[in-house]
Amino acid sequence: MFAFLHVVGGVDLAFTDRHGGVSEGPWESLNLGTSNGDESDRVRRNLDLVADAFQSDPRSMVRMSQLHGREVHVVGGPDAAPGSGSDVHSLGGQPPGAVSVPAADVLVTAAAGVTLLVRVADCVPVVVVDEITGVVGVVHAGRKGMAADVVGSAVQKMREMGARQLTAWVGPRACGRCYEVPARMRVDVAALVPESWSTTSWGTPSLDIGAGVMAQLDARGVVAHDLAETMNACTIENDDFYSYRRQGQRSGRSAGLVRWRP
């Protein structure tokens, strides 16, 4: 279930793989995506299984509807929707008064006990924490998000909320040896983020979104750990993870999670 599970100070963080759930067919088995054709009851059960394994109350888990942009949503903070309690809702079914899933590519919170969730299937999942202040966040960084500097938006907001010593974990994603793109796209994106320029293992133009995100974090003084490199976790090459490039429209979704314990 967890390809990576880590505790730093009072913060828990994890990245899931595709094992240990109840989904079947192309979504087998721990699919956490709700818009790819899988049965909603199975996805709900998978989300509850992850919450249980993460020792988190499902009612305190917050997800987002991801846009491939740089929008930040603050959970339970001064910039959140009125009534911070309504900002926290169950992935297995919203309680009375809960708001809809926020449309964003970054979730951040300074509220203890809230678990934030980002879902991916080739894009880059990023968990960012300040273990001293308890400000934590998750980021969805695809090609468009990286080009728009979504991690920069996350870091800026977290520092506005009081974070001072940020550390990031960059999770499993499509690697630069596999993420083939048209030559013009590589030129355009690398003009914005030079570190993303790459070439596939078969010699065609590609982008290394993870390398680009790592460079953006470093430029903002964030210490970042590249888990995909240490775990050999390219989602296209490693079928322990879901991959839109490899599986197509009906690919499942894995997740990155973080929580500051009360």
The structural domains of the chain, ordered by start, are 2-260 (3.60.140.10)
The residue assigned the tokens 């980021």 is 139
Q: Which one, of 151, 153, 193, lies nearest residue 169 by Cα?
A: 151
What DSSP letter does each residue of 131-170 carry, written as one string? TTT--EEEEEE-HHHHHTTHHHHHHHHHHHTT--S-EEEE
The residues, any chain, with a CB within 8 Å of residue 34's CB and separated by 6 or more, are 40, 43
* pLDDT computed for residue 232 by the predictor: 80
pTM of the model: 0.92
* pLDDT computed for residue 93 by the predictor: 41
Q: Which one, of 174, 36, 171, 175, lies nearest residue 117 by Cα?
A: 171
* pLDDT computed for residue 26 by the predictor: 94
Task: Return left, alpha or beta for 20; rule: phi > 0 is left, psi -120 to 50 is alpha, else beta.
Answer: left
Q: Which one, of 27, 30, 26, 25, lies nearest residue 48 by Cα?
A: 30
* Per-residue model confidence as pLDDT tens for the chain (262 residues): 999 999 999 999 999 999 999 999 999 999 999 889 999 999 999 999 999 999 999 999 999 999 999 999 999 844 444 333 334 444 444 433 344 689 999 999 999 999 999 999 999 999 999 999 999 999 999 999 999 999 999 999 999 999 999 999 999 999 999 999 999 999 999 999 999 999 999 999 999 999 999 999 999 999 999 998 788 899 999 999 999 999 999 999 999 999 999 7
